[in-house]
Amino acid sequence: MHLAVPLVAGALLFGLGIYGVLARKNAVLVLMAVELMLNAVNLNLIAFGAYLRDRFRTGEVTTLFVVTIAAAEVGVGLAIVLLLYRRRESVDLDRATELREEAA
Amino acid sequence: MSSAAWLLPAIPFAAALLGALPACRTRPRAAAIALTGATTTALVALLLLPSALDDPTRVRLDRLLIAPAGALQVLAGTRFDSLAAVVAVMVGVVALAVQVYSVGYLHDDLRYPSYAAQVSLFTSAMLLVVVASDLLELLVGWEVMGLCSYLLIGHYRELDYARRAAVKAFLVTRIGDVGMLLGVAVLGTAAGTTDIGELLAAVPRLPHGALVAGSLLLLLGVAGKSAQFPLHVWLPDAMAGPTPISALIHAATMVAAGVYLVARLHPLFLASTVTLDVLALMAAVTMLLGALAAFAQDDLKRLLAWSTTSQLAYMLGALAAGGYDAGLLHLMVHASAKALLFLAAGLVLHAVHTGALSQMRGVARRMPVAALALIVGGLTLAGLPPFAGAWSKDSVLAAMKSAAGGSGPGPDQFEGVLLYLAGLATVLITAAYVARLLLILLAPPAPRGDLHEPRLSMAQSVTALTVTCGVSTFLALPDALPSWLPAPAGAREGIELSVGGVTLTAIGVLAVFAALWLYSHAGARDPVLLLGSSQRRLRSGFGVDALYDRGAVRPTRSVAAAVAETDASAINHAVEGIGRSAVRTSSSLRVVGAGRVRSYLAALIAGVLLVVVSVAVVV
């Protein structure tokens, strides 16, 4: 398989992630978009690992790390979202502005 | 060989430090520390005296500290010879008398503990000047004295005029100190050393210009400290301080420092005729001005202050005329007389609670201790035989007479003649104002009503000083003294009496009796009233103060006001404007960072894209 195929797929996934983070208001969806970006990176790592035939499997190993950390991150992120929902009955990020300074 | 001279400044300094500790700020402790310090100092000075007089030409040098200062080596240490020994005894004894007296005089003063510590520090600074072996070391003591005089003159700091007098004393002596500092710098660079001994040895090698400039600048410092015209204006105002402080400043410390410096560096001054001319003129003007102003004063302490100015001019005039022994003898005699007079005046002020002579008529008739002290001190001051003042003043006049004759070291003949004439005239005026003072205080009838009894310590120290002053008569007898203080090469050695001086002292006596007669016959009027309308001019010291006010103080104040105005309007506004514009700019920039996470993220991604694209383009 040509290297361009996974790379383009990764770029598309990453762009989709950026769009999700910037455009979505729902905290759960933003988390999912972040996951998309992470997995786009994972795809690239695996693709280059296979392409370069790395003896130490660096690409694959790093991907395992990223997956683990992403799982942990989602755990923390969802906990925050859950707390947000319990307090405010809403997960709209645009309305979670308590820590912002007063508008001048 | 090591000598104990360093103890002289160290003991009172330790007393000052101890007295400044919070634990020692109760009255009994402060008094104990101050009195112990002063007694020990006086004892050490007295113990060091015999060995120094045994071999008066020997100089004991001790180097305690060597500090390299660029090209100069500063050798701080002690230089102890017969001159230092004698002056140290004078300082120690007067300081002790003042400390004892102060215990009683400031009995109800809450600030007594800090006062006593300051007096100790003052004594320590003066003794440092006395034993210093290096001019820079001497300068340290000199400046600390300036500080102490400021603090002590301003002791009654709730009084407006005391604060002003303190600031005036500080500023006026500061003008002199600047000259002093520059003089030390000029001489130090020219001679390559600031060590007093090496500097004096280097005098013949010094370039003439540096010698004249350096000694003239030193003279400015002397004029400031010793209250000589044109820097004499601080001394009469310094009377705002407590009376014992006046005694201390006028007898032992501060004003004596200027005379001591000239005596210490006498060969240096003798080597420059121009400086001697200036010194002689300065002394001539000051002694007449001071004596005339003293005669017209209406305030007891101011009278004594002007008299000090005039007598200091005698000492400096004698030194200018080359009369080393004569000048120093007068310094000693005057110190004992003036300390006595001030402390006795303190008794009178304590009794009547006013300084005005017009309200003191006959007060001394009811105060035997003060009366005796005033008579002994006054007659010593006036120079009546057999009191010591007669011998010292006569030897001063003898030195001036030889200078007027153009023989030996001294100023040019013209200045010498002026100095001699001023000296003769001042003898008369001095006798006159002393006579006036004594007449007012002793004239009948004695006032009725309650007089404040002097406290024991005050009476004790006045009595002790009366005895000292009386004994000094015998010490100062012409033949007893010459071997005390070997004059440096080139100066007039020994004490000689002049016929003219004796005649004039006799005329002084006549003046006393004439004044007495006038006073008792002219309806017991104060003799000063005979001066009529010129009394006011004399009393203000010929308006020198007003002149300085117009010429220096007010212009300085207006410049200061203009500077303050510029500071407020131009500089302050500029600074505030910069601040305000920064605030305005930042508040317009804060829109960018107003906490909208999404816009941060968009900017981040745009930035990354920009970097990637530009890297791609470049590569």
Q: Which residues contact B102 (CB under 8 A, 6 or more apart)?
A: B34, B112, B115, B116, B119, B242, B244
User: Of the candidates A21, A93, A101, which has its C-beta nearest B595's C-beta?
Assistant: A101
| pLDDT (tens digit per residue) in B47-93 | 887 777 777 667 777 777 677 766 677 777 778 887 888 888 888 88
pLDDT, greater one: A5 or B444: A5
B12: nearest Cα among B29, B35, B28: B35
| Cβ neighbours of B619 (radius 10 Å) | 5
Q: How far is A27 from chain B (nearest CA, A)?
A: 12
Share of chain B above pLDDT 90, in %: 3
Residue B225 is encoded by which pair of tokens? Answer: 């400290």
User: Which residues of A are less than 8 Å from B597 in CB distance?
Assistant: 93
Query: Residue range A32-52: average pLDDT?
Result: 93
The pLDDT confidence band at residue B189, using thresholds 50, 70 and 90, is confident
Domains of chain A: 4-88 (1.10.287.3510)
User: Of the candidates A22, A99, A104, which has its C-beta nearest B598's C-beta?
Assistant: A22
Q: How far is B175 from chain A (nearest CA, A)?
A: 58
What's residue B606's pLDDT? 92
Cβ pair B222, B176 in contact under 8 A: yes
Query: Residue range B180-191: average pLDDT?
Result: 86
Q: Strand ranges (DSSP E) for B418-534?
A: none
Whether residue B449 is predicted with pLDDT greater than 70 in this model: the reply is no
Share of chain B above pLDDT 70, in %: 82
* Closest chain B CA to residue A99: B595
Mutate to test the interface with A, among B592, B598, B601 (most CBs of A within 10 A): B598
Mean of all residue pLDDT scores within chain A: 89
B129: nearest Cα among B91, B74, B168: B91
Q: Which of A72-76, A92-96, B69-73, B162-166 has the highest mean pLDDT?
A: A72-76
Residue with tokens 């002292």: B505
Phi/psi zone of residue B495: left (φ > 0), alpha (ψ -120 to 50 degrees), beta?
beta
| pLDDT (tens digit per residue) in B2-12 | 467 777 888 88
What's residue A83's pLDDT? 92
Q: How far is B593 from chain A (nearest CA, A)?
A: 10
Cβ within 8 Å, pair A100-B605: no
The 3-state DSSP class for residue B195 equals strand
The pLDDT confidence band at residue A8, using thresholds 50, 70 and 90, is very high
Q: How far is B615 from chain A (nearest CA, A)?
A: 18
Cβ within 8 Å, pair B594-A18: no
Q: Which residues contact B362 (CB under 8 A, 6 or more apart)?
A: B441, B442, B443, B444, B445, B446, B447
| pLDDT (tens digit per residue) in B394-413 | 778 877 877 777 666 767 77
CA distance B396 to B311: 11
Most distant CA pair in chain A, distance: 58
What's residue B524's pLDDT? 54
What's residue B187's pLDDT? 85
| pLDDT (tens digit per residue) in B356-386 | 777 777 777 777 777 888 888 888 887 776 6
Complex confidence, ipTM: 0.73
Residue B136 is encoded by which pair of tokens? Answer: 């820079």
Q: How far is B602 from chain A (nearest CA, A)?
A: 7
Cβ pair B295, B50 in contact under 8 A: no
What's residue B408's pLDDT? 67
Cβ within 8 Å, pair B595-A104: no
Element (H, E) at B423: helix B413-442
Cβ within 8 Å, pair A21-B587: no
What's residue A104's pLDDT? 45
pTM: 0.73
Mean of all residue pLDDT scores within chain B: 79
**Is A103 touching B (CB cutoff 8 A)?**
yes
| pLDDT (tens digit per residue) in B245-274 | 888 887 777 888 888 888 888 888 888 888
Mutate to test the interface with A, among B597, B609, B612 (most CBs of A within 10 A): B597
How far from the centroid of its chain's Cα atoms is residue B163's Cα?
A: 18
CB interface of B with A, residues 120-149, below 8 Å = none
